[in-house]
Structure 1
């Protein structure tokens, strides 16, 4: 039975882009089950973002591959990340003018460094007990592993929230442009799946060749030309042809993967042409996923950091045969959607609502997402 647990919640998210931590403090006053009513009673009272320290970012990225003493390095990175989470929580409480004792729970996803559900595991770097100690607030974390244990992908995690926030509306799709792009199809039953890289490869290429965290506004990509041979090679990736439910991450789409495709070209191409091709790759995989798995789409609402990439958004608008706008037009800032989702998921956990949906993850049953670390 779903128990009401209305009140204040905090959501924290540091995604596959590894650029920073987004946090929101919300007041939730409606049931978590989107079949009961839309979450019109969710209000953002404060939001905050904190860039990841460069040393922590490097540590987290290094943990995506095996290396020396990685267990100790993972534990140390988890503690540092929890401390950064705690700093965001402090800022949110100060901005909202609320004491820690007013908050029911923090939803903290952690940083994914391995995601191999087909082998039965997914790993998110996190130290939720440390976060609970630092803040004096209960923490809900480890959102994926129960669904994976039940035979699901453990991802995407947010489609149930998307349905609650943006309505079970046939023809409407939510597109999250994080490190990975994922779609939520808002028709009954709600479906969701990853489509491939959004910003992850572009960010990595920009960092390697420009020394910046991301290609601001897609200006570098816009200065280049898409290489048809490279694009065709990237599009031949077998994972792209798999039917949903499916999810992916850095385990597959990384710079080593990109280099294997670059090596197949008859001659080298310029770095900005590679960036232009990566942007077109993101756009084409999204369009292909919509055409194949959501052909009745009439409107796409975009969130995530990629929604701020003007060249990417312009290219998407030209490529998709439907209307395109951001979630900002529907009341939720693009960089707050995922943090808000984890506040909602913490609420759903305390209410006993199973937010991991079989039609999304492929598990044979719905499961309650997360584990609780009391204050």
Structure 2
């Protein structure tokens, strides 16, 4: 059987860089042929983070140039994937290039709202010579949906089991949960709240590291009950799905507003509390909406955080908590593979959203195509 090759690229809310996979869809199951990563240049990361903050100057100009910079990083990852596998650009059907979300305000202001991903897919197509699919979220918003999360359909294709319901938890900058019924029931999915974004911010600010490797620093601290309570009191956590969020809400200003005793708090204790916040909101949402689910598959960078995984297992004693690596796909490859899958859906004129997840008025073909 001929290979059916797509490339998926993912740069998420953690802002730690780009993950890319070369995925083959010709078999019964997705096969990842290669995985490549690239960190963002320091100046590009700083600009992307700044553009996610309201009130900046000259944003249109800066966003356009940041899109060019992101496109060049994307093209570098594609080049690496092709070189590592000896694959020609002509053999790739399309690249799924999600872009970098800097604003996500579905349903606000005028009942439609907007979601904004910085990107220059035309430049990616020009630099790689490969068809690019981008702008996956806008059509779902136009149809009344949240535009996120978009990965539950892929999670269903990859991880669902006929004999038992399964939950898939992606912990990137924001955490999102997919609830997959046994058989052909209705899939649910939504953003739980903060994942690594606040943890990474606090870590960078206090120990100068981009993230807390393995959660080892958080494990040295103690949870601050008052701070945790103030965080958990945010109205987002009480909302019912469909719901989605991002750095628009869960950002350093949000944390500072709740860190009333920040001058007296030990930094390691705040880190421990933020880790507990992430674990608690994920566990609570699974308990609220995932009745009868006893298997949780965790992906994203959070799956590599041993402390977070330990806390999830403690908070969910009746649930088997596994890394996606134990189900055949390493945690940092899952979202990139999802956007390869979404690009394939677009090229086949198949719907990529699940209305039961996003709240859209129905299934829609997502994305815009930029031919090679």
The TM-score normalised by the length of structure 1 is 0.94
| Counterpart secondary structure, 2:107 | helix
Tell me which residue corresponds to 2:247: 250
Deviations 1:200-237 (A, max 9, x none): 10001111111111011111111111000000110000
Is the counterpart of residue 62 in structure 1 residue 50 in structure 2? yes
After superposition, residues 150-169 of structure 1 pair within 5 angstroms as 150-169=143-162
After superposition, residues 291-330 of structure 1 pair within 5 angstroms as 291-320=287-316, 321-330=318-327
Tell me which residue corresponds to 2:130: 137
Tell me which residue corresponds to 1:369: 366
| Counterpart secondary structure, 2:70 | helix
C-alpha deviation, 1:168, in angstroms: 4.9
Q: Distance in 1 between matches of 2:291 and 2:195?
A: 20
After superposition, residues 164-313 of structure 1 pair within 5 angstroms as 164-169=157-162, 170-187=164-181, 188-263=185-260, 265=261, 268-313=264-309
C-alpha deviation, 1:6, in angstroms: 6.8
C-alpha deviation, 1:41, in angstroms: 3.0
| Aligned residues of 1:24 and 1:336 also touching (Cα < 8 A) | yes
Tell me which residue corresponds to 2:38: 50
Q: Distance in 2 between matches of 1:6 and 1:248?
A: 37
| Aligned residues of 1:221 and 1:273 also touching (Cα < 8 A) | yes
Distance 1:150 1:9, change over 3 A: same
Tell me which residue corresponds to 1:73: 62
C-alpha deviation, 1:171, in angstroms: 2.4
Deviates more, 1:103-112 or 1:167-176: 167-176
Tell me which residue corresponds to 1:23: 20
C-alpha deviation, 1:366, in angstroms: 1.0
The TM-score normalised by the length of structure 2 is 0.95
Is the counterpart of residue 102 in structure 1 residue 96 in structure 2? no
Q: Distance in 2 between matches of 1:200 and 1:222?
A: 18
Tell me which residue corresponds to 1:41: 29
Tell me which residue corresponds to 1:34: none
Distance 1:267 1:135, change over 3 A: closer
Q: Distance in 2 between matches of 1:248 and 1:116?
A: 8
Q: Distance in 1 between matches of 2:302 and 2:23?
A: 24
Q: Distance in 2 between matches of 1:114 and 1:73?
A: 14
Q: Distance in 2 between matches of 1:69 and 1:168?
A: 49
Q: Distance in 2 between matches of 1:268 and 1:254?
A: 21
| Aligned residues of 1:86 and 1:135 also touching (Cα < 8 A) | yes
Deviations 1:126-170 (A, max 9, x none): 000000000000000000000001100000011001101112554
Q: How many residues align?
A: 361
Distance 1:130 1:269, change over 3 A: same
Q: Distance in 1 between matches of 2:206 and 2:42?
A: 17
Q: Distance in 1 between matches of 2:295 and 2:284?
A: 15
C-alpha deviation, 1:269, in angstroms: 1.1
| Aligned residues of 1:180 and 1:195 also touching (Cα < 8 A) | yes
Q: Distance in 2 between matches of 1:355 and 1:81?
A: 24
Return 5+ residue gaps in structure 1 as ranges: 31-39
Q: Distance in 2 between matches of 1:212 and 1:118?
A: 36
Ranges of 4+ aligned residues in structure 1 off by more than 4 Å? none
- Could you say what the CA RMSD is over the residues aligned between the two structures, in angstroms? 1.3
> 60, 72, 85: which one pairs with 2:74?
85
C-alpha deviation, 1:266, in angstroms: 9.5
Q: Distance in 2 between matches of 1:87 and 1:266?
A: 41
